[in-house]
Amino acid sequence: MADKIIIAIDGHSSCGKSTLAKDLAKELGYRHIDSGAMYRAVTLYFLRNNINFNHALEVKEALANITISFVNNEATGKSEICLNGEDIAHHIRDMIVAEKVSEVAAIKEVRQFAVAQQQAMGKDKGIVMDGRDIGTVVFPDAELKIFMTADMDIRAKRRFQELYEKNPNITYEEVINNIQMRDYIDSNRKESPLTQADDAIVLDNTELDKEEQLKKVLQLVKECNKKVMAE
C-alpha cells in the first residue's frame, strides 16, 4: 500500500474545488479539509459579533474566541465544519458571507490563524485540502498540487444554481459580480495571494463533469504514488 500523501487543490472561486476534494478524499479514504470554509467560518463569526475588520486588536481578540473543527458525518460520509461546536455548513454559504469572505481572508492575522491550523491538520498526511494558497503557502512541499480553472460563465452558472436553491431572489448578475470581485481581491491581496504553484498541474474543468474530473485526478494520484514509492 502506497504511503499517504498531501493533495493540495487551489484555484479561483466557484471552480468546483471543494466538490473535487470531497470526492477525491472519499475515494482515497483521506480527510478532506475545505480551507475556504474556514475563512467563511471566521467571516460568519465576525459578522455575527460586529467585528471591525480594519481594527487589528479587535480581530486578534475575536480570533482568540474562535474554534474551528471538522466533524465526520457518518450518515453522509462528509466532513462538516463547526464553529465553536455549532454546525455552520449551511450558514457559511449565504451571500452575505460570500460578499465579505475575501476581505476577511486578506487580513494578515486571519491568514496566520487559519494556516497554522491547516498545517497542523496535515501533519500526518492522508489529506486533501482545497483553497487558494494551499500549494504555495500551507503545503509548499505537497506531493500533488492541482490548480483548477474554468470559464467565468460556467463558474457563475454553477454558483448561481447552488445559491438559487436557497435564495430564489438572487440574480445571475449578483453572482457573477461577486465572483469577479473575489477573483480580484484573492489575486491582488498582500497576504498569500492566489497564484499557481510552479509545480502545480492545471485542471480546466469547463467541459468536465464530476465523474470525468475525478477520474483524471485519480490517475494523477496513481502516478504520484508511483513516483513517491520510487524515491
CATH of the domain at 60: 3.40.50.300
Q: Is residue 230 part of a domain?
A: no
Q: Cell numbers at residue 72, please?
A: 465526520
Per-residue pLDDT at 1: 45
Whole-Å CA distances, 56 to 24, 102, 221: 37, 17, 41
Tally of domains in the chain: 1
Q: What is the pLDDT of residue 77?
A: 63
Domain that holds residue 175: 6-222
Cα pseudo-dihedral 125, 64, 72, 222, rounded to 10:
-20
Position 115 in a domain: yes
Going residue by residue through the chain, which has 231 residues, state the pLDDT in tens, using 9 for 90 and above.
468 999 999 999 899 998 999 999 999 999 899 999 999 999 999 999 999 999 999 999 999 999 999 887 766 667 789 999 999 998 998 889 999 999 999 999 999 999 999 999 999 999 999 999 999 999 999 999 999 999 999 999 999 998 888 889 999 999 999 999 989 988 998 888 899 999 999 999 999 999 999 999 999 999 998 888 887
Task: For residue 29, give the DSSP letter.
Answer: T
Residue 150 lies in a domain: yes
So what's the pLDDT on residue 115? 95
DSSP-based three-state secondary structure for 172: helix
